[in-house]
Amino acid sequence: MKIITMHLGELDTSCYIAASDSGNAAVIDPADNAEHILRTLKENDLTLKLILLTHGHFDHTGAAAELKAATGAKIYIHPADADMSEDRVKNVSYLLPGYVLQPYKPDVLIDEGDKIPLDEIIFTVMHTPGHTDGSVMFVGDNVIFSGDTLFSGSVGRTDFYSGSVEKQKQSLRRILSLSGEYEIYPGHGDPTTLSEEKRYNPYLLYLKEQ
């Protein structure tokens, strides 16, 4: 899997292109600037097939509608976040007065354990409510696209619409239970690894002691 990282939008969101050996691609969390994403795909001779949303906040979905219109790629999201695109409170775009999010229509509603194929790549959906009720992580071979569920040394906030501290704790416990090593590509900040987070992330360490 080839991974291309872009930092886009007002909140410097991490948007990822994951490409198969055959040149097909998924965009995970198309934050903003569809032109830049499309140009990057073209420069790397990639064909966009999937638009994967880790959750429904505006800073992770801002270019989804334009990408779908330009390429025909299908949009995947958990049903709990599927209605956020047209609600400024739910998608938290109210934090940026004047910001206009182009509404998108999800094509595929995903849930825990679903498999999303992209040639030799298989993304497995891990439902991780807490940051939002529909937050998910996309798990591949030794790779996790964690959205705003897990960051390097931190976790996503829970004080927006449908956020829940208790659900977040349950999701983080599930992450603690994962075996093996994974590279983690979060929705903001630097990449990390599962072993690093188990060793140093204060939120995970707290749960270990409970």
Structural contact between residues 138 and 27, judged by C-beta atoms closer than 8 angstroms: no
What are the C-alpha distances in Å from 170 to residues 8, 131, 158? 30, 12, 13
Q: Residue 124: enclosing H or E segment and its boundaries?
A: strand 121-127
Q: What CATH number is given to the structural domain containing 42?
A: 3.60.15.10
What pLDDT is recorded for position 100? 86
CB burial readout 60-96, b (16+ within 10 A) else e: bbbbbbbbbeebebebbbbebbbebbeebebbbbeee
Residue tagged 């695109």 (tokens): 85
Q: Which two tokens stand for residue 193?
A: 């690894």
* Number of domains forming the structure of the chain: 1
Question: Angle, nearest 10°, between helix axes 64-71 and 34-43?
Answer: 50
What pLDDT is recorded for position 173? 97
Q: In terms of Cα–Cα distance, which of 48, 101, 98 is closest to 73? A: 48
pLDDT tens string 89-126 = 999 999 999 888 899 999 999 999 999 999 999 999 99
Structural contact between residues 28 and 138, judged by C-beta atoms closer than 8 angstroms: yes
Dihedral, CA of residue 151, residue 155, residue 67 and residue 18, to nearest 10 = 30
From CA 1, how far away is CA 94, in angstroms rounded?
36
From CA 124, how far away is CA 43, in angstroms rounded?
28
What pLDDT is recorded for position 191? 98
Parent domain of 70: 2-208
Other CB atoms within 10 A of residue 12 CB: 12
pLDDT tens across the length of the chain (210 residues): 999 999 999 999 999 999 999 999 999 999 999 999 999 999 999 999 999 999 999 999 999 999 999 999 999 999 999 999 999 999 999 999 988 889 999 999 999 999 999 999 999 999 999 999 999 999 998 999 999 999 999 999 999 999 999 999 999 999 999 999 999 999 999 999 999 999 999 999 999 887
From CA 176, how far away is CA 171, in angstroms rounded?
9
pLDDT tens string 76-96 = 999 999 999 999 999 999 999
From CA 10, how far away is CA 21, in angstroms rounded?
32
What pLDDT is recorded for position 209? 83
